[in-house]
Amino acid sequence: MQKKIKSALISVFYKDGLEPLVKELQNLGVTIYSTGGTQKFIEDLGISCVPVESLTTYPSILGGRVKTLHPSVFGGILGRRDNPQDIQEMKEYNIPEIDLVIVDLYPFEETLKSTDEEKLIIEKIDIGGPSMIRAAAKNFKDLVVIAAKHSYAGLVELLQTQNGATTLEQRREYAAKAFEVVMNYDIAINNYFNGDIIRPLNAQQPLRYGENPHQHAVFFGDLEEVFTQLNGKELSYNNLVDVDAAIQLINEFSGEEQSETTFAVIKHTNVCGIASRPTVRECWDAGLAGDPESAFGGVLVCNATIDKLTAEAINEIFFEVLIAPAFNEDALAVLKTKKNRILLELKPQHTKHKAKSFRSILNGTLVQDADEGNFKEWKEAGGRETTASEKENLVFANIICKHLKSNAIALVKNKQLVGKGCGQTSRVDSLRQSLDKAKQFNVDLKGAVLASDAFFPFNDCVQMAHAEGIEAFIQPGGSIRDKDTIDYCVQNNLALVITGLRHFKH
């Protein structure tokens, strides 16, 4: 059933795009109610409107905190046109019917980005706006609600083609959009007070498909806040998952304490190559050498500017994505020779760790603190103290292990990943995998170190690794049989560090 719009209440923070809509309402002879800055904007266009204060008999008070919160306004929005009692009460109290509500919300999220001053942030928590939007959306059978400026143009077109009338289906669609706007607004406020524990659903980006071609997928969020895409095709679901893993990893090497140039290769969210070196080109060469086979089709990430020399070397292999904080122009010229190659310039504010992690399971969502920190303690528990070189490599290996799927083992030599085992159901199998990978590329493991994401349940892992020339180990400890591993290390003069911090990743 179509309903013609005869009256509209307009009160918005953002005026851009509003003019064509207001003029179309004027052409249709719609009575416009407004207040404050919106009223001035409309009147400056030469269009008359009725001040909301004439309905409420109250001026805007408390510094603008109370303007529209009044029965004369909400009665006009919530009154049911097919309910005789509602109609009678509206006539009794001189409450006009309102057929269209155009209201947006104070810029709470924008204010969060621009200031830390709580007083300013709190004042951008809208009260009347969400109330009017919810009221209008609830009564979609009788009126239209527009809750965001991106809907203005669509409404203008609709009014022009339908002579100022709307269908029930159209009103319901606008109501659904309005409830989503309010929901995301409330999520932002909740996250400000309680931490970032709920994900908003406002920015939706359809993806080509999900993990596999038969799966539908959508990304919720704003990727432009994280990086700028300089080249390449649209990011896929799998690209995004790997990009997230890559950024989480490189963030470990982006702080003041970890400023050495580092280059990594990610494949299916696991690190398959990584190295720290004085120059970007040296980093790339060493990172790739750790597993040149797995690097094919991978996601590459660096914490330093990509130069032409490195770009020419990278250009020799096939990869999906390259992420860096900056690219030299001559490097971009080389890398852009492949039009589908995705190049992402990481924005500085996102070289930090996530506060929370989320996973959808069963009929709900798991929320946990992000796995921050690498050590709870540094306990030398072996037959000797670690050397300075071993300590440096153990720290490096421990970080890598944190970013591998459990069960995880990382073998490191000279700040280069030379072997890794991950995603195995047995820790011994992960160790075998890491040793086999090192042997595949003829790595001499003498002088290498080993990291484990969780405790050694038995001493078999250190025995196997020791037999291959590894003499320094790092693990969180916590097994009821820790003593077996410690005793073996003491008896064989091996270095063993216990961190007290497990890094399972499922």
The residues annotated as belonging to the active site are: 138, 268
d(CA 441, CA 202): 48
- Residue identified by tokens 């199998």 is 429
d(CA 298, CA 294): 7
The three state secondary structure string of 273-329 is EEEECCCHHHHHHHHHHCCCCCCCCEEEEECCCECHHHHHHHCCCCEEEEEECCECH
* Residue 476 tokens, joined: 């969180």
**DSSP result, 156-198:** HHHHHHTTTEE-HHHHHHHHHHHHHHHHHHHHHHHHHHH-S-S
d(CA 136, CA 7): 13
Dihedrals phi, psi of 22, to nearest 5 degrees:
-65, -40
Sign of CA dihedral 411, 244, 248, 183: negative
Sign of CA dihedral 370, 376, 381, 387: positive
The three state secondary structure string of 246-260 is HHHHHHCCCCHHHCC
Half-sphere exposure in the Cβ direction for 314 (13 Å, CA):
36
d(CA 464, CA 472): 13
Half-sphere exposure in the Cβ direction for 349 (13 Å, CA):
8
d(CA 367, CA 364): 10
CB of 7 within 8 A of CB of 30?
yes
Q: How far apart are the first and last CA of the chain?
A: 53
List of residues 6+ apart from 104 with CB closer than 8 A: 12, 13, 14, 129, 147, 148, 149
- Of 141, 170, 131, nearest to 81 by C-alpha is 141
Instruction: Give bridge partners of residue 103 from the DSSP assignment.
Output: 11
d(CA 463, CA 450): 12
